Structures are given as C-alpha cells and as structure tokens.
Structure 1
C-alpha cells in the first residue's frame, strides 16, 4: 500500500485495493516473423536476383489471461489516480500479413 501512495496517486480518493480481479498474465507470443527465398538469376543481363518473402506480425499469443492482450497498458489517469495495468477492454492487436518482393538490378 505504501508503494501506491509513493507513486503520486491522489490522496483525495481513498484507495480500495483488492485482488478480486487480479489475474496472472504470463504469456508466450510470436510477434514478428519473416520468411524469404532469394532466386539467383544472374544469367539475365538486366536482373541480378529476386527475393520473395512473407512477413507476419502478432501471429499468436499463448496465455491464460481472459482479456484481449496480457500487455495491458491503458492510461486512463483521473485526478492523479494511476491506472496503468488495469484492463479497460483495449482493442485487440491486429494480425498483419505482408507478401513482398525485392528485385536487384
């Protein structure tokens, strides 16, 4: 409780700390992966190589946390009362897939 007051929270509102909704948020996440292959086509006069790749972000998260994202970081501070670490149903992170090519002349 001393850490709560030392964090700069407002003394005007009495804190009522509870572990009723406290959850363990351990998780494993594959956040970013890129797979590619380079084709060597140096026999052509105008091209040296072509690299084809697929990139993905936020592929999966393994957790027992019941919210959208175990990395809760919503700042809704009001009157000096801290709110980091409280899940205000933030929007889930999007999965992104990118298919691309790099051509070297």
Structure 2
C-alpha cells in the first residue's frame, strides 16, 4: 500500500524558509525510516510563509502517522503553525 504524510507549516517569519528547508533536508537525509519511498519539500508559490513536506511510504499494514512524520511536526512547531495529515494514494501504480 502506498500512503503519503503531509506536514504543512505556516511560518511565523517568511525569512525562516531557507533555514527551515536546510534543517528539514538534514533531518531527512540522515533519517533511518524503513518503508520511506521518497520525500519532497515544497514551498507555496504565492504565500511565502507556507512550506510542506511529503513523505511517501510503501509498506504493508494500515497507514499511520510515522515516527519520522511526528518528529518533523514537533520540530516545525518552533517555526510556526503545523498541520500533519495522512493520505492513501488511490492512483494507478502504472502510468497511462
């Protein structure tokens, strides 16, 4: 099963984005997370204070918020408001 965690940050200060992104890259680069297929860090195109981390998981069993996702959400609370959600990928695994 493929599922995606989204950790969304609305930062208190727009100038924090580069530091926040660098911190996230370092944490994700060094993380040991079995089942993590990929991650993405994106910023909102218009609202400079919004950032999102996507963690894509491929592993058996019911989807649940991961230890890594919970850890990132806790770290990001120092930078602003955090919203942590979990999604199940309903798309076809093969391209059309």
State if a TM-score over 0.5 links the two structures: no
More RCO (CA 8 Å, sep 6+) = 2
Pair member with larger Rg: 1
Higher percent of residues as helix: 2
Give the TM-score taking structure 1 as reference length.
0.23
